[in-house]
Amino acid sequence: MTLVNVSAGPEKEASIALYVHWPFCVSKCPYCDFNSHVRASIDQDEWREALLTDLAYEARLLPGRKLTSIFFGGGTPSLMEPSTVEALIDAAVGHWSPAKNFEITLEANPNSVEAARFADLGAAGVDRLSLGLQSFDDEALAFLGRAHSAREGFRALEIAQKQFRRVSFDLIYALPGDTEESWAATLAQALSLGTKHLSLYQLTIEPGTRFASMVAKGAFEPLDVDAAAALYELTDDMTSAAGLPAYEISNHARAGRESRHNLTYWRYGDYAGIGPGAHGRRLGMRTARHKKPENFLQSLARNGNGIADEAPLFPHEAADEALVMGLRLREGIDAGAIAERLGLERIVDWGRVDRLVASGHLTRDGTRIATTPRGRLLLDHLLGEIAAREPRASAAA
Ligand code: SF4
């Protein structure tokens, strides 16, 4: 059995990012397929202890790493007690020493109750807030099942921008009825709000969601693919012109304002994932925690960790994953360096890559490949085309 160290080279070998999943929300949005659960009450003390125990388990396996980032995601982590957030940050920086440019992000919903906690979350150590505004329009917010109004959203953004050094917000577009005019107006408004990082997601209908059953019953029709593609191109043009080009398919930032944590995923670095449903990748293994909060707690009581599944990452799987992640980035991926790291002869079919360069879907500089704006629209198709069919171990492996 050949296992690989999938860390990104000598410097990254010593680093780790930490993802903490808080699985609770006040209600379930109809488009959401994240691991989120609604519970009548949550024992904050029990959850603090559970997450600290899960973290300590990972830390014991990964001694001496440099901690590059912590990301509190969910669910709705802005519903965590700030003291829980602080306890986890303190424990993490006790286990690992923070790297230069260490970043701590927390995802927040913009209702007034959560906005009232921003100061305490800042005092707890969070220095970057990712705010789920989703829309500036009350009708669209109601359609999306969001628990906040447009007014609350603007107010929360204002508070966040005073409180945190870095603030990003999310919008969802390509809703039924969206037009180039309506989306251009929304995006212009977003770009006028002084943010240096924006996450702009197209509405997709995910299996198992309430929207999926509504679409199946004919309650509404998703925007058609061509119209959605036109909105994507418009987004690319407007954000580039405003100095926040896409550095990843759905993420836009001024230079230097990219999400450091998410870059670790896309550049295929190591990360520990704790909390219900969290995924991780470290020591040549992929990990997944129990998704259901109650099962996660039982696993912790039984085993001292919340792991439901842990499996070795084989070189060809790691190669495919690295390619999927890396091609999301505008900077692309050095397919030669990744192949070398994984002990493979190659991870792409260079003949096919060159054909896609000639057709304007990819660019190539030595062994570094990247998608063009045109190629990004067809990313899934490109990945299927260029992945090496039979990556073989290199002689040196
Ligand atoms: S707030 Fe976020 S995680 Fe929670 S249900 Fe809505 S989309 Fe899902």
Where in 77-205 does DSSP place strands (E)? 97-108, 128-134, 166-173, 197-202
The pLDDT assigned to 394 comes to 53
Q: How many CA atoms lie within 13 A of 110 on its CB side?
A: 29
Q: What pLDDT, on the 0 to 100 scale, is given for residue 247? A: 97
Q: Give the pLDDT of residue 269.
A: 92
Location of structure tokens 């896409």:
246
For residue 112, what pLDDT is reported?
Answer: 75
**Residue 132 identity (one-letter amino acid):** G
Say what the pTM is: 0.93
Ligand 1 contacts CB of residue 32 (under 6 A): yes
How many angstroms does the Cα of residue 31 sit away from the middle of ligand 1? 8
Amino acid at 31: Y
Pairing of strands 166-173, 197-202: parallel
pLDDT at res. 115? 87
Question: Residue 284: left (phi > 0), alpha (psi -120 to 50), or beta?
Answer: left
Instruction: Assess whether the C-beta atom of 75 lies below 6 angstroms from ligand 1.
Output: yes
CA dihedral over 99, 100, 103, 104, signed as positive or negative: positive
**pLDDT value at residue 9:** 46
Compute CA 198 distance to the chain's CA centroid, rounded to the nearest angstrom: 13
Please tell me the distance between residue 261's alpha carbon and the centre of ligand 1 in angstroms: 20
- State whether the beta carbon of 36 lies less than 6 angstroms from ligand 1: yes
Task: Kindly report the protein residue whose alpha carbon is nearest to atom 5 of ligand 1.
Answer: 28
pLDDT, tens only, 192-248: 999 999 999 999 999 999 999 999 999 999 999 999 999 999 999 999 999 999 999
* 29 CA distance to ligand 1 middle (Å): 5
Position 345 scores a pLDDT of 93
Angle between helices 335-342 and 315-326 (to 10 degrees): 160
Sites in the chain below the pLDDT cut of 70: 1-13, 390-397
What pLDDT, on a 0 to 100 scale, did the predictor assign at position 14? 86
3-state secondary structure of 76: coil
Q: Are strands 368-371 and 362-365 parallel, antiparallel or unpaired?
A: antiparallel
Encoded amino acid at 22, one letter: W
